[in-house]
Structure 1
Amino acid sequence: MEIGGIERSLVNMLEHFDYDRYDVDLLVFRHTGELLPLVTDRVRLLPEERGLAAYRKSIAECVRDGQLASALVRLACKYGARLKALRHPVNREDAGAGYIQMQLVSKYMARLQRKRRERYDAAISFSWPHDYTARNVEANVKIAWIHTDYSSLSVDPGMDLEMWRSFDFLASVSPACTRAFLSRYPELDGRVVEIENITSPSFVRAMAGDGTPPPEMADDAADRSGRKPFRIVSVGRLSYAKGFDLAARALRLLHDRGHTHIRWYIVGFGGQEAELRALIAELGLQDSFRLLGKKANPYPYMNAADLYVQPSRYEGKAVVVTEAQILGKPVLVADYPTAASQVTDGVDGYICPGGAEGLADAIERLVKHPEALERVAEGARRRDYGNADELKKLYHMIS
């Protein structure tokens, strides 16, 4: 239960579940992660399974821990994905071979896992690897969650079709996610039901504090012209999909245009950290584009922002964008395919062209026109983002 949007959505869903009607078991890879303590104690946390932990280990760790079969499968999937990616060229390794590798790992690692002895009324596969639930869990009803914009991923649809067909329902978090998924898997049209990510406004506001900047943000001095800092915050995994490299380049453009009082803070961690730090140094932004690392509670950082920005190349439906809106923050998102599913442009946020220049242009307009920031912040404050009633759709599926 590491920090992430899918994990936070799961925590919220479990918090609002109807435990008078349902007993809920939760199976996770490992009993670790900052979000695990936030899971309600009304859930029965199942014991760790050694085989499942291997999904998240490196190949070397599998060898070290004596999980040789898992190591061999993982190694075969790694090189098998590279061969598949060569036949289907993509722009980025992590957008192509990386996802094909995830498909292969999900499919073949599931065959190494033991089948669960219990038979459930319903089994929900809330995130990858869906093959585990499809193959190893017996249930009257099976449901898999779709959090991702499949139109932006280099996947092999034929590899997963049989797996998806083993689920009675596929829960998609937005209409845009549904369209993207069905563009790859049109045969599954009748199984998709849209269920929004469950949000918890009271929890987000309680965790956010009063808007006082955390220490990492509070030490910013005015720029040479005496202007107080304009603080931008983004939250997410340091990965190609999140577009933080585009954000850094956008800030360089803004500084070159004279907006040296703008600071950009990134809350998150991930595999692109070294690459991002090198880019930040290359752009000369060490003092103004800051990677703050993993934060168990990102909300005080978001609440101290003058503007929340989601520069992603693609998203399913970003939980953190809704959380920024819950806090009444002005929000700017890039025009990734699913952006309009959660931001009404000009009402409770803005959607701008993606890429460094598009982001820079939009931010510059907002910095010059603070009334535009206040307009969408007020629009967000007027809206009720609570949506626990979405769970009624799930109850209907499992009843």
Structure 2
Amino acid sequence: MKKKIFIFSHAMEIGGAERALLGFLDSVDYSKYDIDLFLLKHSGELLDLIPNEVNLLPEIPQYSAVMQPMVSALKDGQIKVVLGRLVGKIKAKNYSIKHSAQSSAVAIDYSHKYVVDSLPKINDKNYDCAISFLTPHYIVSKKVNADKKIAWIHTDYSTIEVDVQSELQMWSRFDNIVSISDDVTAAFLKKFPELKSKIVLIENILSKTFIEEQSNEFDVSNEMPAGSIKLLSIGRFCEAKNFDNVPEIASLIKAKGIDFKWYIIGYGSDEALIKSKIAEYNISDTVIILGKKDNPYPYIKACDIYVQPSRYEGKCVAVREAQILDKPVVITNYTTAQSQLNDGFDGAIVPMDNAGCANALADFILDKDKQNRFISNMKTMDYSNQNEVEKIYKIIGD
């Protein structure tokens, strides 16, 4: 008899966690497991890539309202949800004032914490296992019936301000907590040492076949023409990804006389800031924003070097995808960088400061022998982590 698994996430926008979720769903043995996937909203470019074997549960208006602008949710009659979100917003603001810290993590946590009691049960099923793939995890903890419950950590907790007591109550409701790397685990346990016995390491699962097939879907030579050395970075335009510093780094490299283009794929709230920095450093001929792309893999295939210049990461999915496509990778020395790659073997870790990053990246661009050595080493590695799904089966009891 098949076991029943419930999975919760927000939507299927382009992002590392969403692509990791697809990798997990692609790896499940559907002869043994039935998967119900519940999303707050049926939106996002990756929605159509959900495997056909997955049962995508219908949207529920109250849950969709959690992601809507509050004015829209109010027009749709979701008064209780809006009131809960307002309470959460006020309490998050008070927390920030009291602790002299601006924390989007607290705001997101509270937005779910003070709404969840106004939401209906998702359904009346009892699952063998319920997985909350993206924080906050209140919905799975309170609105799903399951014999076992698992929550995922995708974030480096050393980089964010959280209400520890509030989140401790949330995490404690789960039987297991999945961490995607040892560094993510260490940062998490510094804030929540009481939860050590619940932690299980399961690295992001990626489909090598899918990535390779998608990388051949179309030609990008009109957007990334031959001639110059092509650098590529992918991610949301937000503080974590550090794209606002790319124009200065690029200007320092360009001053060394190196002919290159640095392409950025993504979208987000920092787009205006990044564009203003491009103008400030007069680097628009070198730093080129390609925008939001449903399929980033042909661009990865076309680049010469993949660069992740982040301030912080949990474990960057785009880096792994670049390695799957045998691209030399350079990442900044963020807290979890050592668990992202083997420095000097299948990638390079460079300083976080702009001058140090520029110098090291320039040296790497010019060192073709090192790039070729990394490529040869990557061909010996399996970055898909397909067997990690077995750890989920073990938690469930198989």
Aligned partner of 2:234: which letter? Answer: V
Deviates more, 1:152-161 or 1:274-283: 274-283
TM-superposed CA distance for 1:85, in Å, is 1.7
Determine helix, strand or coil for the equivalent of 1:215.
coil
Q: In the alignment, is the contact (CA less than 8 A) between 2:181 and 2:203 conserved in 1? A: yes
SS of 1:150's partner is coil
Aligned to 1:291: 289
Distance in 2 between residues matched to 1:359 and 1:79, nearest whole Å: 40
Distance 2:83 2:209 in 1: 46
Structure showing the higher helix proportion among its residues: 1
CA drift of 1:256 comes to 2.6
Shift of 1:213: 3.8
Q: Confirm whether residue 7 of structure 1 aligns to residue 7 of structure 2.
A: no
Distance 2:385 2:253 in 1: 37
Report sequence identity in percent: 41
**Counterpart in 2 of 1:276?**
274
Q: Note if contact 1:246-1:355 (Cα within 8 Å) is conserved in structure 2.
A: no
CA drift at 1:300: 0.8
* 2:149 partner letter: K
Shift of 1:205: 1.1
Distance of 1:348 and 1:240 partners within structure 2? 26
**Cα displacement string for residues 74-133 of structure 1 (whole angstroms, at most 9, x for unaligned residues):** 23322322221222234xxxxx42111011012112112112321111100011231110
1:220-252, CA deviations, whole angstroms, 9 ceiling, x for partnerless residues?
7xxxxxxx3111100111100011012222112
Aligned to 2:299: 301
Asked if structure 2 preserves the Cα contact closer than 8 Å seen for 1:207 and 1:299, the reply is yes
TM-score normalized by the length of structure 2: 0.93
- 1:31 equivalent among 42, 55, 62: 42
Pair 1:17-2:28 in alignment: yes
Mapped to 1, the partners of 2:44 and 2:351 lie a distance apart of 35
Distance 2:21 2:53 in 1: 14
The 5-angstrom pairing of residues 158-237 of structure 1 reads 158-209=165-216, 213-218=220-225, 228-237=227-236
- Contact map agreement 1:150 1:181 (CA 8 A) in 2: yes
Matched residues in 1 for 2:307 and 2:118: separation?
42
For residues 104-143 of structure 1, what are the structure 2 equivalents within 5 Å?
Answer: 104-115=110-121, 116-143=123-150
Match of 1:146, as an amino acid? I
- 1:223 aligned partner: none
Q: 1:386 aligns with which of 365, 384, 387?
A: 384
* C-alpha distance in structure 1 between counterparts of 2:277 and 2:285, whole Å: 13
Shift of 1:210: 9.0
Q: Which residue in the other structure is 1:224 paired with?
A: none
Letter in 1 for 2:233: S
Contact 2:364–2:371 under 8 Å retained in 1? yes
**Equivalenced residues, count:** 385
Which letter maps to 2:311? R
Contact 1:106–1:128, Cα closer than 8 Å, also in 2:
no
* TM-score, reference length from structure 1: 0.93
**Aligned partner of 1:391: which letter?**
V
8 Å CA contact 1:237, 1:268 repeated in 2:
yes
Contact conserved, 1:349 with 1:377, CA < 8 A, in 2? Answer: no
1:363-382 aligned within 5 A: 363-382=361-380
Equivalent residue, structure 1, for 2:9:
none
Partner in structure 1 of residue 8 of structure 2: none
Which amino acid in 2 is paired with 1:328?
A: D
Deviations 1:256-286 (A, max 9, x none): 3333x22111111111111211121122122
Paired residues of 2:129 and 2:396 also in contact (CA < 8 A): yes
The structure 1 segments of at least 4 consecutive aligned residues displaced by more than 3 Å after TM superposition are: 210-214
How far residue 211 of structure 1 moved from its aligned partner, in angstroms, is 9.6
Q: Match for residue 7 of structure 2?
A: none
2:272 paired with 1:265 = no
Deviation at 1:135, TM superposition (A): 1.1
Could you tell me how far 1:355 is from its partner in structure 2? 2.7
Paired with 1:362 and 1:10, the residues of 2 have a C-alpha distance of 33
Instruction: State the match for 2:334 in structure 1.
Output: 336
Cα distance in 2 for residues equivalent to 1:74 and 1:288: 43
Q: Is contact 1:247-1:359 (8 Å) kept?
A: no
**Is the alpha carbon distance of 1:119 and 1:338 closer, same or farther for their aligned partners in structure 2, counting shifts above 3 Å?**
same
CA deviations on 1:327-349 (whole Å, 9 max, x unpaired) are 11000011111111121001000
Gaps of 5+ in 2: 1-11
CA distance, structure 1, for counterparts of residue 218 and residue 359 of structure 2: 27
Partner of 1:100: 106
C-alpha displacement at 1:53, in angstroms? 1.0
| SS of 1:308 mapped into structure 2 | strand
Contact 1:173–1:317, Cα closer than 8 Å, also in 2: yes
State whether residues 201 and 326 of structure 1, in contact with CA within 8 Å, keep that contact through their aligned partners in structure 2. Answer: yes
CA contact (8 A) 2:179 2:185 kept: yes
Contact 1:100 1:154 in 2 (8 A): yes
Tell me which of 71, 81, 91 is aligned to 1:70: 81
C-alpha distance in 2, partners of 1:371/1:88?
50
Give SS of 2:34's match: coil
Partner of 1:59: 70
Contact 1:214 / 1:300 at 8 angstroms: preserved in 2?
Answer: no
Instruction: Give the alignment's Cα RMSD to 1 decimal.
Output: 1.5
Alpha-carbon distance between aligned partners in 1 of 2:104 and 2:251, rounded to the nearest angstrom: 30
Could you tell me which amino acid in structure 1 is paired with residue 371 of structure 2? L
Structure 1 gaps of 5+ residues are 91-95, 221-227
